[in-house]
Structure 1
């Protein structure tokens, strides 16, 4: 029981530390934006004394930005894609931030608090809130996750590759399959133990390898997923670098398969 309690406390401490780090990063980004607006002096603030101008923009951007960050954490994660979340959160945060700016202007600049001033601020606040939340979304955007679609939707069967490899000579029958390349009525089968030509139609080979873990990347090429080392796309053409130094062309027709699997941006 003590061990479980200790582990729970450790997890909670990590969460607290991660939350504090996230808050400090958000505050640093917002402060940088506040300083930038202090330099630019938008909405007539360029006439203000420099110390007051910087203090004002730091206060309203830091305070208003944290309102938006809190709203984004509470509601925004339910929305996707990112651009939709940014717009919705920016719209929802604008009234509260406008009120905060109005009160700040009253306390720091002596401006009157009234409904007309609040309405006038709505558009100004939204214009600033939108890019701030866009920057926030970019800062915390997660890395792209490489997802192999066939693995998620339908688990590959090792037997599918094994059945196809039984067509090869004994030396290559148990070798790792790398790619299958069509040559007229023949197939060039690339394995870790070398290449071999067999008599088989490419369409029949694709049917046999339908449950194997791989992709058709060209009208005459099929490649094994675990043999891919790199994929690049340049000027409308692509190529996949495979194990054993094999390079396979990637056509526009089949490029979306590799993009869905995370190999192409």
Structure 2
């Protein structure tokens, strides 16, 4: 293993410990503020010290137990429950000792058994919070719509109607003008004699859309789409603008432009 991998692994471990300790300290401060189980009888400093020791120390015990059980059980709520059950006796002993040192509480077995049932719910909640912090998030999959250029044969029949100069040019749009069509390309526009319906048939396999009763546009020529007051407009390559009618707007919406 190279030194770069060692550094990344060491950083990940240090970060995990830092997050765990910060989480345990935050819970300790919260418990000190709430002062449950009659801990409000302690002075403020003693109360916060009591809960910080119990929560951080108990949490570290739980983390150690979780590391041991990780070899036997996969992560999940069953392991959280098992960890809380296993960690409760030693954490109860820790709490009993802390109470004795800070408040003069008795060290006795009856006191241990009473504390046991108070410690277990807190241990369960603490390990559940930690499990939520470190839960494995689902992998995020991003998708992107990619407009692929059309196959050469998809426009071949239509292109043969153009002059030699524009036959190999980039097709931008086809605009109907009475009995003529104005074909817009990146090599300029050209008028041809053809019905719009026939042009649509020849371009049926090409990558483009009919967006108006008199307009067909190539998909890869669309730059922006605007919709205002019930009418749309396409900005196409070369500074060309094409209208979009309500009838044909759904094809653009399906393609992700709205």
Q: TM-score range by the shorter chain?
A: 0.5 to 0.7
Find the residue that maps to 2:255 and give its secondary structure: helix
Which structure 2 residue ranges, 5 or more long, are not aligned? 142-151, 156-203, 210-251
Find the residue that maps to 1:245 and give its secondary structure: coil
RMSD: 3.3
Shift of 1:110: 2.0
The aligned residue for residue 105 of structure 2 is: 111
Shift of 1:109: 2.0
Distance 1:19-1:63 versus aligned 2 partners, 3 A rule: same
Q: Check the 8 A contact 1:105/1:111 in 2, yes or no.
A: yes
Distance 1:102-1:243 versus aligned 2 partners, 3 A rule: same
The aligned residue for residue 262 of structure 1 is: none
What aligned pairs does 1:28-177 form with structure 2 within 5 A after superposition? 28-76=22-70, 78-80=72-74, 82-145=76-139, 170-171=153-154
Shift of 1:130: 1.0
Q: Check the 8 A contact 1:94/1:129 in 2, yes or no.
A: yes
Shift of 1:74: 2.6
The aligned residue for residue 207 of structure 2 is: 193
Larger Rg computed on CA atoms: 2
Q: Check the 8 A contact 1:76/1:89 in 2, yes or no.
A: no
TM-score, length of structure 1 as denominator length: 0.53
| Alpha-carbon distance in structure 2 between the residues aligned to 1:50 and 1:192 | 77
Which structure 1 residue ranges, 5 or more long, are not aligned? 148-168, 173-189, 196-240, 248-265
Distance 1:243-1:114 versus aligned 2 partners, 3 A rule: same
Shift of 1:34: 0.7
| Alpha-carbon distance in structure 1 between the residues aligned to 2:27 and 2:38 | 17
Identify the structure with the greater helix proportion: 1
Q: Check the 8 A contact 2:92/2:115 in 1, yes or no.
A: yes
TM-score, length of structure 2 as denominator length: 0.54
Hey, which bits of structure 1, 4+ residues long, moved more than 6 A? none
| Alpha-carbon distance in structure 2 between the residues aligned to 1:127 and 1:96 | 14
| Alpha-carbon distance in structure 2 between the residues aligned to 1:109 and 1:127 | 23
Q: Check the 8 A contact 2:154/2:205 in 1, yes or no.
A: no
Q: Check the 8 A contact 2:24/2:55 in 1, yes or no.
A: yes
CA deviations over 1:101-139 (Å, ceiling 9, x no partner): 112222222222121111111111111111111110111
